[in-house]
Amino acid sequence: MKKLFCLSCVCVLLFGCAHQMGAIHNGSVAGTAAMVQTQGLGEVSDLQALRSLQTDAGPHNGILAVRSFYFAFDRYNVASQDYAIIQAHAQYLLQHPQKHVVIEGNTDIRGSREYNIALGQRRANAVESILRMQGVPKNQVRTVSYGAEKPISYGSTETAYSLNRRDDLRYED
């Protein structure tokens, strides 16, 4: 499975895939990064962006390796299945008061750029409030919205759009 994963990474890198590949997600795309890794990775064109999450100064064991949370079109409510993961990160931050996290909000490319900055900020704020509700102090969390400026997925398919509607949790030094 791991070999297949690596092989598909290499294929994507070699052939610069910006087009739709593989199965289309049906139904809700608000889910976890695990879904991206097994099904959606073929559609992700900017693997560097994901890679940097996998190698940052934070925990990478088990549920804490999940760093991306996805949103429905024009929405900024966190999916119910993501709560447990975010709460696990909260526990980690409470146990490691020297660690800091930045929540990066993103949107798909459609619409006005600055309005998308505001939407991305709402998405980042949504994850931040879950962390804060768990007692994580303000100085350990910050948010930034990149709006539609840093897509990891290109193209105008619904799959491409859905992969960009997300928050990334990045641990900073």
Partner 1 sequence: MKLIKIIICVVLLCVLQTSSYAILNLELTKGVDRAIPIAVVPFQFQGNQQLPLDITTIISQDLQNSGRFKLLDVKAIQQTPSNMNNVDFQYWKDKNVDDLVFGKIESFGNNKYKISFSLLNIYKHFKKKSFFNASPVLAKKTYVVTAKDLRKLAHKISDIIYEKLTGERGIFSTKIAYILVTRMLNQPRKYSLIISDADGYNPRAILTSSQPIMSPAWSPNGKSIAYVSFENRRAALFVSNVATGKRRLITNFPGINGAPAWSPDGKHLAVVLSKNGGAKIFLVGLHGGKLSQLTNGWLVDTEPCFSPDGKSILFTSDRAGSPQIYLRDLASGSLRRLTFVGNYNARASFTSDKKNIIMLHRDQGSFNIAIQDLQTGVVTVLAGACDNQSPSIAPNGHMVIYASHDSKNDNGLLALVSTDGKVRLSLPETKGEVREPAWGPFNSK
Determine if 162 is a binding residue for partner 1 (CB under 8 A): no
Closer to partner 1 at the Cβ: 82 or 168? 168
Q: How far apart are CA 83 and CA 78, in angstroms?
A: 7
Q: Of 65, 94, 142, 158, which lies in the binding site for partner 1, with binding defined by CB under 8 A?
A: 142
Q: Strand 141-147 vs strand 100-106: parallel, antiparallel, or unpaired?
A: parallel
* Contact call for residue 121 and partner 1 (CB under 8 A): yes
Site string for partner 1, 67-86 (x = CB under 8 A): --------------------
SS3 56: coil
Q: Residue 100 interacts with partner 1 (CB under 8 A)?
A: no
Residue 12 identity: V
Cα-based distances in Å from 59 to 5, 88, 90: 21, 11, 12
Tokens of 167: 């928050």
Residue 22 as a binder of partner 1 (CB under 8 A): the answer is: no
Judged by CB under 8 A, the residue of 114, 129, 133, 135 near partner 1 is 114
**Beta strands at 100-106 and 68-70: parallel, antiparallel or unpaired:** unpaired
How distant, in Å, are the alpha carbons of 117, 131, 159, 167 from that of 110? 12, 29, 13, 17
Q: Which stretch binds partner 1 (CB under 8 A): 35-43, 79-87, 89-97, 138-146?
A: 138-146
Of positions 75, 100, 109, 140, contacts partner 1 by CB under 8 A: 109
Closest distance of CB 153 from partner 1, Å: 11
* Largest interatomic CA distance in the chain: 45
User: Contact residues for partner 1 (CB under 8 A)?
Assistant: 13, 16, 18, 46, 48, 102, 109-115, 117-119, 121-122, 142-147, 149-150, 154-156
